[in-house]
Amino acid sequence: MAALALTCCLPYLLAQESVGVSLTPPRERTLTSAPHEGHTFREQAASLRTGVRDYQVAYKACVDPAHAPDVAHLEGYIGMPLPTSCNWYHSGFLFLHINGRDIGLTPLSTMLLSEQGARGMADLVWHDEVADVRARFCALPGQDHLLCEIAVEPREPVASVVLKLRCYPSFFTAHHKREGARRVKTPAALVEEGEPQTLAAGENWYALYYDEVFDVARGEGEGPCAVMLSGDPAHEITISPGGYSVETTIAYPPETRRVRLALWDFKALSNADALARLETGAATDRAALQALDFTPATIAQFDVAAVRAELQRALASAEVRELLGDRLRQAQQWLDKNAATVQGDAADLGITAQEELLQSAAEYRDLMWEIKLAEMVAEL
């Protein structure tokens, strides 16, 4: 038992100081099979490396004009290719439905890295006719799980908010023409393959998805996966383990505006060790998730007064104005455009305001460095 406890705590003993992040540029390819033959398919992926687990979140959609004004997804639109292609399915594991509409049918507005350094964050934003929606994935150094916050800003009255998850625990059984034994363990229930259950979310706040046949302890499979609810007021959770995929549906009250989850891919871990990890550590992880501020540092630390003072100092120098020319004017225009969005508490910024500020943050940093260099040259 002591060895098992050390194994379960190992991710926390290996903590590092930062999270490695990267974002691929959008890639497009032409589909060759019906009903999307000849259509344009787009995908993009963000990698978040904690030092314990390498997670990757991918966006996928058929963006061909044939589907306009919507897009189409083949199997899903938010996938998790790493740590494993099974478990939280690489081609689509998370689906958000508001008023019965799948938000993924709307073209993605942006996918960007919203924080780098001590934490890693990646945002996906949609502006749907029903609501503005943002899925923000967060990785913390030394942790074995990936956090997610989904924000909803309605454009019309909301009657229902439903989150759907899909996983293939440990192994693609049917694809390899093999049979497994899917199981889902929660704090209060055991759900077996072919016997779906609807459970009270409050008592079943985490779920371990595993397969009794494809268990690392038996030399089979990749290892299980898990999800944890943060304590948001979900009504109920319906778990449907099939012989291939396991579908999970979480129903929230219509007034829900924030949903938080923790996601695990227990690659290379046995069923028993994964369960022990949750039983001994999930309560602590849940408290941390509830307390976490998901506001990216770029937004939380943006100081309008300080930036304006820097610009005014640069504008006061004839030498700097001559060196920078239009670039200095662009910096002033950037500030005028974005200053209004960062008045007050950063946590109160809406989805669109954060999206616009984060999109232009790199341009702003480049401009400010040019100003500093021009000031140094002017002093020579």
Q: Domain range holding 106? A: 2-294
In the structure encoding, which two tokens stand for residue 130, read together?
């029903």
Looking at residue 1, its pLDDT comes to 33
Asked whether 139 and 146 are in contact (CB, 8 A), the reply is: yes
The phi, psi pair for 224, rounded to 5°, reads: -80, -175
Q: Are 90 and 222 contained in the same domain?
A: yes
Q: Are 302 and 177 contained in the same domain?
A: no
Looking at residue 66, its pLDDT comes to 94
Asked whether 109 and 125 are in contact (CB, 8 A), the reply is: yes
Where a domain ends, among 241, 263, 294? 294
Looking at residue 3, its pLDDT comes to 35
Name the maximum alpha-carbon separation found in the chain. Answer: 77
Q: Are 231 and 314 contained in the same domain?
A: no
Looking at residue 343, its pLDDT comes to 55
Q: Are 306 and 213 contained in the same domain?
A: no
Q: Are 141 and 283 contained in the same domain?
A: yes
Q: Are 145 and 203 contained in the same domain?
A: yes
The phi, psi pair for 280, rounded to 5°, reads: -95, -20
**pTM over the 0.85 mark:** yes
Q: Are 199 and 339 contained in the same domain?
A: no
Pairing of strands 108-115, 120-127: antiparallel
CATH of the domain at 35: 2.70.98
Beta-carbon contacts of 230 under 8 Å, excluding residues fewer than 6 positions away, are 260, 261, 262, 286, 289, 290
User: Any idea which residue has 């950037």 for tokens?
Assistant: 334
Q: Are 273 and 305 contained in the same domain?
A: no
Q: Are 175 and 103 contained in the same domain?
A: yes
Q: Are 252 and 356 contained in the same domain?
A: no
Q: How many domains does the chain have?
A: 2
Q: Are 186 and 135 contained in the same domain?
A: yes
- The pLDDT averaged over each successive group of 10 residues in the chain (380 residues) is 35 61 97 94 98 97 96 97 98 98 98 96 98 98 98 97 98 96 98 98 97 98 97 90 98 96 98 98 97 91 72 77 74 67 62 85 71 77
